Structure 1
Amino acid sequence: MTTWPQQPDSRTCGPSVVVVAQGLPGPWPDFAADVLAMHRRLNRWWPRALGTTPWAIAAELGGRVRRFRADEVVAALPTPVPVYVGSRWLPRHVVLAVGTTADDGLRVYDPARGAVVPLTAVRWRTTWFSVVPS
């Protein structure tokens, strides 16, 4: 069973998703240090306080940014897919699609919780972008 790590602060959901995606199936022995280093690397020209852009994650993972489409994300699995979620006005959080189930659909690693949950259980309800493999 995988133990899922929790993001080290409120601004590192994007780097946490990248570290987990690159290190699946785990473990992540120095997760907080790895995430903070990734945050610096991904946001070299973007203020870290504003989070991480989908284009930075796409460059790091070798993917492309697309408007979220569940069928496209499911087709990319089992490769993990970062998904930006938020309010209807702004993307606010990044989760990582890691699988599906017949019962609750798309399953995502939520770095804020440090757990895999149904996408419908994530705090933010509006899906914005996904970073699908090239």
Structure 2
Amino acid sequence: MTEDWPERVFRERLVQPDRVSCGATCLVVARMIEDHAYGQELGSAPSVPDRFRAEVLEVHRQVTGLVDHGHLQVPWPRALGTPPWAVARQLGDRDVRWVRTSPSSGYDAVVAATRLRRPVPVYVGNAWLPRHVVLALGEEGGRLRFFEPASGRLVDVGREQFRRGRVGLAGWDHAWWAVLPR
């Protein structure tokens, strides 16, 4: 990783604006990391938190609305967050797929994808349901680094924590799905 990636994106505490926009927050942060001009534009706004909030809410409206990027889609109730197929569609300029993570191979699949210098949205939840979206950024010191949008912090998770369903991201422990490049 270059010295300023992804740290340049995290100069300000970027927090999801409401309790259901974690997926949209991860999409905006992923774009900020991958698209330097976009990241610079948001990062240099007079009020970064206000501009970031407005951008996240607009993305959330798009990914759950009737039309996304000019394509008709089945609307999704915003109160339920962002479905993984909408995240995959938003990242569609790169060939992506959303896959169920397994305790044994999920960690390695996410790490491999981040080695391509692509942030990876990961759905986490309890043992029964996915409830929150976080963004995997890459492995640092043998631990997978995540952007956690509820707190706006970077959190490191070890392979064994991931395997045992103890990721501890915003109170959720089980990794459910990852949106991975093919």
TM-score, structure 1 normalization: 0.92
In the alignment, residue 173 of structure 2 is paired with which amino acid?
Answer: R
Which of 79, 84, 100 is matched with 1:49 structurally?
A: 79
1:21 aligns with 2:30: yes
Helix, strand or coil: the match of 2:123?
strand
* Aligned residue in 1 for 2:125: 86
CA deviations on 1:66-103 (whole Å, 9 max, x unpaired) are: 11211111111121000000000110000000021225
Helix, strand or coil: the match of 1:124?
coil
1:114 aligns with 2:152: yes
Pair member with larger Rg:
2
Instruction: Structure 1 unaligned segments of length 5 or more: list them.
Output: none
Higher relative contact order at CA 8 Å, sep ≥6: structure 1 or structure 2? 1
Which of 70, 81, 100 is matched with 2:107 structurally?
A: 70
Q: Once superposed, what is the RMSD of the aligned Cα atoms? A: 1.5
In the alignment, residue 28 of structure 2 is paired with which amino acid?
Answer: V
Which of 52, 61, 66 is matched with 2:91 structurally?
A: 61
Give the deviation of 1:121 after TM superposition.
Answer: 3.8
1:9 aligns with 2:9: no
Instruction: Structure 2 unaligned segments of length 5 or more: list them.
Output: 1-6, 43-47, 66-74, 158-166
* Aligned residue in 1 for 2:162: none
Helix, strand or coil: the match of 1:88?
coil
CA deviations on 1:41-75 (whole Å, 9 max, x unpaired) are: 00010000011100000000122101121111111
Which runs of 4 or more aligned residues in structure 1 lie more than 3 Å from their structure 2 counterparts after TM superposition? 25-29
Which of 123, 127, 130 is matched with 2:175 structurally?
A: 127
